[in-house]
Structure 1
Amino acid sequence: MRTGTPGFRPSRLRLAREARGLTQVALAELVGRSSQSVSRWENDDHEQSPEPDALQALAAALNVPVSGLLGMEPHQSPHPFFFRSMSAATKTLRSRMSAKMLWQQEVSGVLQDHLDFPAVNVPQLGVTSHRQLSDQRIEEAAGELRALWGVGSGPIGDLLLVLENAGIIVSVVAAATDKLDGLSNWNSKDNRPYILLAADIPVTVRQRLDAAHELGHLVLHRHVKMTELNSPADFKEIERQAFLFASAFLMPAETFSSEVWSPSLASFLSLKERWRVSVGAMVMRARTLDLISPEYASRLWKHISAKGWRKGEPLDDKLPLERPRVLSRGVTMLVEDGGFAKADVIELMRLRERDIEELCGLQKGYLSSTSNVVGLVAMKPEARRTHDVPSTVVPFRRR
């Protein structure tokens, strides 16, 4: 029988520690305990859990509510987590972003208990290994997805909105590194795909390519085994396939080729604002489509380097960033239309206000303000949430 605090979950302590990017040793120093104690508390098989005072100290050090260390086990999906830059990211960074994605999925789950989210409309190719995919099939899959989603064959205006309309949950959070651009995962609990993008380099064309790259993983690699990701050669090929899908999805072969009137840096730059992809990505796409030779592509890359465009291209600071909407809209609907106090939302999600605001894309301070936003249209009293009447589902308004 576990001694200490009833309801304590070792896995929730691990999750919070990893989300903060702390080692067991670092957390032990913050709470004035030994690293062996922290290790025992995180051990599912150990019978010792922290006493109430130690639990309070852990929650304070990790900046989470005590309730965030209690309750249900975090859901661990059997589907792999795909990292946009897994080869360069450290294990600690990957663990930190994976933990934040689990928080994102839990926040989404709370909202889905009360709201109808967009239905998932992401097809699967029915493959169990990346080795079953040819480049031609990947190009076809990108075109088929565009047709399914009805976005035509031209530039996509707001990519994140398109993803969310297809039932994909997207969040943009600080990764505190430029070594990790994003990650994705199919959550088996709600059978919904999730994307987490890094906010550290706020460049629209990079964010869109990262999002399309993660979309590629969700479509192509849902059933890939972890053993394939652990092989450097296989991982490199899986990443290449996701990039090919992203390029094909953002720049369909026939339409994009017809607009490349001259494969020069000047012409690519003239297309950047319309297609909302980087000049570098267009050069790579042009090479894939045999619009330019390997030698000419090499010359273009040398010119890009000479101009300093590898660190930043023209228009990078002019194109507005795209913002996810679903989670933020869900929270504001509960508060403004569903009769939930902001304190109720915070209690349900068992996270600090700033973590919820970041994961949901809410304005900083929205949940910590003392008053709820008053809209022009009020709900009828009988429709409001009360403590003695069962709450009802508040559906998203149809777009």
Structure 2
Amino acid sequence: MNTDILSSNIKRYRSKKKLTQQDLSELSGVSLPAIKNIERKKGLPRTNTLLAISKALDCRLQDLVKPIGELSAVRFRAKSKMNRREQILAQVSKWLNDFAFLEVLLSDKEEYKLHKLAGNSGNLSPTQYAEEARRIIGLKSNEPIHDICGLLESCGIKILTLPYFSDAFNGLSVGEDDKGPAIIINTWERISIERQIFSTAHELGHLLMHLSDYDGKVRSEDTTQEKEADLFAGYFLMPEQGFNSEWEETAGMPFLERVMKIKSIFKVSYKTVLYRLKQKGIVDDMIWLQFQKLYEAKYNKKLSFKEEPFPEGSEPFGLKPFDFYADRLSRLVRRAIEEEKISISRAAEILNLSSEQMMERIAEWEDFA
């Protein structure tokens, strides 16, 4: 029994269930000092101790002792030091394994439509990559993206939404060599949906432009590549022809409302719209301050740099969590359940639900087929 693996798995399952060490101690009947020693890799616990812990964590004993595959073709660059980096990567690895298992079981694997573009020699600019990606996917040159998760999943890219209670990272991506391609996005409630959508497009940019640099051991950000991915994301979400057309059509509107309308059409942040205007020479560096003043004058509220106009719940046309929702995995699980190819407990494990939650989900499937 490897104490490193055991410690990592217990921490991962405990974190997933949002339990403290004290909570786990009370649920399992294992003393708090014993829990701490196990997580600190001090000595080997008895089998009955691990059985009690696995029951409290709603997992199998073998889940606590088996190693999680290490990802190598991964890009995970955080802004600052992250305490849970390895736990997140372990969770992503398990999710990818479960996803691949279902695809094989059901003979249902989406073709990766952007594979050839990802293998391009790199002679294209970020904006050209964005244009070519949109063309391959089948988007019109002026068409907004209404459902980025569904769009990319239909192109063979797996999407995982993972709430991490920090803005230390917005997202990460995994290459084909590690059962990807996959994009994992931080859906912490303090990160706007607009930002989550932009981060998804940003990671797609990395998958297409920087695949040769994917290395799970590298933690620091490459400033040049980050700027390229940002540029790609802006033009992937808000194509030039579409932006120009909408900007001309809104010419009679007040500037603040004009920006807000463009933002809502393309599901981007107001900063993305202002940055495009600056790129095109329509505005200068003073626009950030000017926009904040216009906003404060109209709504009697200051606008912080990280904030989207109108807080969650009060924006008439604002984006909500269901504007960013990945559903392919749950669809595969439903099919596997209905075809009696996996058990209810296995389905719950894959979807990270309790047994009770899984039963409720199945009841909904049956009631609202």
- Are 1:198 and 2:187 counterparts? yes
Aligned to 1:386: none
Kept after mapping to 1: 8 A contact 2:269/2:308 = no
User: Could you list the runs of 5+ residues in structure 1 that have no partner in the other structure?
Assistant: 3-7, 42-47, 358-363, 378-399
Aligned to 1:312: 308
Question: Distance in 1 between the 2:61 and 2:281 partners?
Answer: 58
Aligned to 1:110: 101
Cα deviation for residue 328 of structure 1 reads: 0.6
Q: Which of the residues 247, 253, 256 maps onto 2:234? A: 247
Question: Distance in 2 between the 1:192 and 1:105 partners?
Answer: 10
Question: How many residues were matched structurally?
Answer: 342
Q: Which of the residues 50, 53, 56 maps onto 2:48? A: 53
Kept after mapping to 1: 8 A contact 2:185/2:196 = no
CA, structure 1 residues 157+39, in 2 after alignment: closer, same or farther (shift >3 Å)?
Answer: same
TM, length-normalised to structure 2? 0.76
Percent identity over paired residues = 21
Aligned to 2:324: 322
Aligned to 1:397: none
Q: Which of the residues 259, 275, 282 maps onto 1:268? A: 259
Cα deviation for residue 332 of structure 1 reads: 0.6
Local SS of the residue matching 1:196: strand
Local SS of the residue matching 2:74: coil
Aligned to 1:396: none
CA, structure 1 residues 335+14, in 2 after alignment: closer, same or farther (shift >3 Å)?
Answer: same
Aligned to 1:293: 284
Deviations 1:300-355 (A, max 9, x none): 355457743433314376434232111010111111234544135347x5x8634x
User: Could you list the runs of 5+ residues in structure 2 that have no partner in the other structure?
Assistant: 26-30
- Are 1:236 and 2:223 counterparts? yes
Cα deviation for residue 64 of structure 1 reads: 3.3
Give 1:1-399 correspondences, 5 Å limit.
Answer: 10-11=4-5, 13-18=7-12, 20-21=14-15, 31-33=32-34, 38-40=39-41, 49-60=44-55, 62-71=57-66, 73-83=67-77, 86-88=78-80, 90-115=81-106, 116-123=108-115, 124-126=117-119, 137-153=125-141, 154-186=143-175, 188-201=177-190, 203-224=192-213, 226=215, 229-231=218-220, 235-261=222-248, 262=251, 264-301=255-292, 303=294, 307-310=301-304, 311-314=307-310, 315=315, 318-320=318-320, 321-346=323-348, 349=350, 353-354=353-354, 365-367=357-359, 373-374=365-366
CA, structure 1 residues 126+269, in 2 after alignment: closer, same or farther (shift >3 Å)?
Answer: same
CA, structure 1 residues 97+141, in 2 after alignment: closer, same or farther (shift >3 Å)?
Answer: same
Which amino acid counterpart does residue 32 of structure 1 have in structure 2? P
CA, structure 1 residues 275+37, in 2 after alignment: closer, same or farther (shift >3 Å)?
Answer: closer
Kept after mapping to 2: 8 A contact 1:20/1:96 = no
Which amino acid counterpart does residue 79 of structure 2 have in structure 1? S
Which amino acid counterpart does residue 336 of structure 1 have in structure 2? E
TM, length-normalised to structure 1? 0.71
CA, structure 1 residues 12+36, in 2 after alignment: closer, same or farther (shift >3 Å)?
Answer: closer
Question: Distance in 1 between the 2:180 and 2:352 partners?
Answer: 26
CA, structure 1 residues 121+10, in 2 after alignment: closer, same or farther (shift >3 Å)?
Answer: farther
Deviations 1:181-227 (A, max 9, x none): 33222252434323233242474323211211221222222221559
Question: Distance in 1 between the 2:261 and 2:84 partners?
Answer: 37
Question: Distance in 2 between the 1:39 and 1:178 partners?
Answer: 27
Which amino acid counterpart does residue 308 of structure 2 have in structure 1? G
**Which one has the bigger helix percentage?**
2
Which amino acid counterpart does residue 138 of structure 1 have in structure 2? P
Which amino acid counterpart does residue 172 of structure 1 have in structure 2? T
Question: Distance in 1 between the 2:361 and 2:180 partners?
Answer: 34
Deviations 1:76-112 (A, max 9, x none): 22123335xx214x41143443333223212212312
Deviations 1:339-393 (A, max 9, x none): 544135347x5x8634xx9xxxxxx81346786954899xxxxxxxxxxxxxxxx
Cα deviation for residue 267 of structure 1 reads: 1.0
Local SS of the residue matching 1:313: coil
Question: Distance in 1 between the 2:51 and 2:138 partners?
Answer: 51
Deviations 1:163-197 (A, max 9, x none): 10011111223223344433222252434323233
RMSD value, Cα: 3.8
CA, structure 1 residues 144+373, in 2 after alignment: closer, same or farther (shift >3 Å)?
Answer: closer
Question: Distance in 2 between the 1:122 and 1:144 partners?
Answer: 9
